[in-house]
Structure 1
């Protein structure tokens, strides 16, 4: 099997100017480059630049995968978005690069064992902007997911701040992340149990209020925003917030409560049992809903059985493969409906008449051999 590598990077805040696009073109002559994106794949060879350097200089989100199982997701944040205390644990799956302006988080998988292709990459890429917004707005659960994944293999893992995030209700993008990175859901549940029984810090997630933010701006800040808007032709919410940020950075945040391996370990067995029960309950509910829907459908078919018999005969009289296929589908549905209503004898009589009427249509009867 030949090598295959896929790269996609996107700028969410502002545009890539002509100089930036020219620099990117020098890195790859075959890449698809627009005012906001850079995308390229290689069957042989590799990108002529370090992806993390491209991210820090040009882009806000990115994704890479190779067909031998490596995956990297990139999310760039303003410097100080995440406190140093939260990023102090050793992990093979989370890497951090910083410069004077930004923090770059790289979420890595060295070996992804499931089948993965460009369509899967595009499907996950659509969640990266929302995951980045969440991190910037104070939802730092992605870091905890990676801590839990590391804890799965290293019970001596370094501590991190214990902050009251909601690990019982995951949004769509968080679920996509835990699925791709194979985060043990029992560990997530155990963390939720820890937070219920131990003191923790309140999360600093705040709902953005536009009017409050606008009225807090000085004239010089408003002028700076307008100037940037005219220069770039675009100004995203995150750009505007970063340019007018007044609160202190999180880098030197002081924490009193910490999550440790010893703290979460006693909850693992209970969490696994609860998760198994929840999954069994969810499966039972799903099967019950499917059964109810199937019974409703069969009841509808039985109530409209005369129309189904008529349609089956009309399709048979088309004397073509598609007509026979449709007639066969109608008859199999009728069989299930009569069976569900315990009226098999009536079906047998009607079906016998149908066979007699279509006795010369051997191709149709072959499709009905399991009902004969």
Structure 2
């Protein structure tokens, strides 16, 4: 049996020069390679390189999945973007590769049990640029999601700084992440409760001050930036900041308030009950909306019932399978509409006439046998 593997990597800051594309081509002769991306599928072989090494050297976001259930999501950040205190807990689902320039986050699923294909992978990949941008701007909720998932199974898990992020309203991209990685919703709600009940550190949203940054650049920094700009043809803000970063700004951050399993555990039952109540209310609202839409549809059909009988007969007279299918569909809709309007007797009268008019069309009547 063949095995399908999918790799997709993209560079968001700058371009892959000819030398980089040549090196990537040497790794895979069948990959689709552009100035910003690398994508390849394998059935019987595999990528001749470590994805983490490719990410650190060439790309900013990446995605891998195999049809036996393995999934890896790659997000590369400038060194020091996330504080060391945020990356110290042990997790099978989050791995960090670091060098002097970058922090590479790898979010992993060992066995994904739902159906997943290339289209699902492409859909999720569209969220990665926004998720990376959120992390770079100081919104570190993805790491907390992975901690919550691990905490659900490990009562001895090391803690995280308790930072006041908004866990009551998630972005579309974060919701997609939560669904893919099966993050327990009750634990997310419990964390929001913790933050409402206990002191925490204020989130530091990164605000870039161009004048201050430019003033602090050395001549060597400027020469480096000009050299990269000349070679690549463009230079993004994030790339320029990564190149000129002097130190890991978040590395030695001191935290007074911490999130631990013992801190969040007292809120779990309450969060679970609240979540179930909210889900029940949402379901009731959905059912009521669907019912209202169905009633409106049936009212419209009943109001146009003469036309629907005419359409059913026209389709029957086509004497073909698609015509019989369409006629059956119109008649079943009429049946529902008459029942909704408590006029079953009228439907039976018209239906008998229809059957008599089409008594020789056995294939059609067979489609209507549940109403005969």
TM-score (norm 1): 0.93
Residue number in structure 2 paired with 1:64: 64
Alignment pair present for 1:357 and 2:357: yes
- 1:217 deviates by 4.2
Displacement of 1:235 in angstroms is 3.4
Give 3-state SS (helix, strand or coil) of 1:278's partner: helix
Match of 2:73 in 1: 73
Q: Which residue of 2 aligns with 1:182?
A: 182
Deviation larger for 217-226 or 65-74: 217-226
Assess, with a 3 A threshold, how the Cα gap between structure 1 residues 207 and 182 changes in structure 2: closer, same or farther: same
Q: 1:176 & 1:119 partners in 2: Cα distance? A: 14
Match of 1:271 in 2: 271
The answer to whether the 8 Å contact 2:302/2:337 transfers is yes
Which residue is equivalent to 2:117?
Answer: 117
1:285–1:214 distance in 2 versus 1, CA, 3 Å: farther
| Separation in 1, partners of 2:20, 2:227 | 20
Indicate the residue corresponding to 2:98 in structure 1: 98
Structure 2 CA distance, aligned partners of 1:247 and 1:59? 22
Q: Does 1:292 align with 2:299?
A: no
Provide the C-alpha distance between the structure 2 equivalents of 1:226 and 1:296, rounded to a whole number of angstroms. Answer: 65
Map of 1:343 onto structure 2: 343
Q: CA deviation at 1:329?
A: 0.9
Instruction: Return the alpha-carbon distance in structure 1 between the equivalents of residues 304 and 212 of structure 2.
Output: 65
- Give the whole-Å Cα distance in 1 for the aligned partners of 2:8 and 2:178: 21
The residue aligned with 2:239 is 239
Deviations 1:142-170 (A, max 9, x none): 00001011101111111110001111111
1:309 is aligned to 2:302:
no
Q: By how many angstroms is 1:244 displaced?
A: 6.8
Q: Which residue of 1 aligns with 2:35?
A: 35
Instruction: Name the CA shift for 1:142/1:360 in 2 (closer, same or farther; >3 Å).
Output: same
**How do residues 105-144 of structure 1 correspond to structure 2 at under 5 angstroms?**
105-144=105-144
Post-superposition shift, 1:133? 0.7
Q: Is 1:6–1:42's contact at 8 Å kept on the other side of the alignment?
A: yes
1:106-133: CA deviations, max 9, x gaps?
Answer: 0011121222222221121111111101
- Pairing 1:9–2:17 present: no
Contact 2:160 2:259 in 1 (8 A): yes
Q: Secondary structure at the match of 2:97?
A: strand
2:157 corresponds in structure 1 to 157
3-state SS of paired residue (1:112): coil
- In 2, the alpha carbon distance for the partners of 1:184 and 1:346 equals 53
TM-score with structure 2 length normalisation?
Answer: 0.93
| 1:64–1:72 Cα contact (<8 Å) kept | yes
Q: Distance in 2 between matches of 1:49 and 1:242?
A: 25
Indicate how the Cα distance of structure 1 residues 29 and 246 shifts in structure 2: closer, same or farther if over 3 A, else same. Answer: closer
SS of structure 1 residue aligned to 2:157? coil
The DSSP-based 3-state class of the residue aligned with 2:254 is coil
Matched residue pairs, number? 369
Deviation at 1:137, TM superposition (A): 0.9
Aligned Cα root-mean-square deviation (Å)? 2.2
Question: Which ranges of structure 1 fall in alignment gaps of 5 or more residues?
Answer: none
8 Å contact 1:217–1:244 — kept in the other structure?
no
Q: CA deviation at 1:276?
A: 1.2
Cα distance in 2 for partners of 1:293, 1:224 equals 62
Farther off after superposition, 341-350 or 237-246 = 237-246
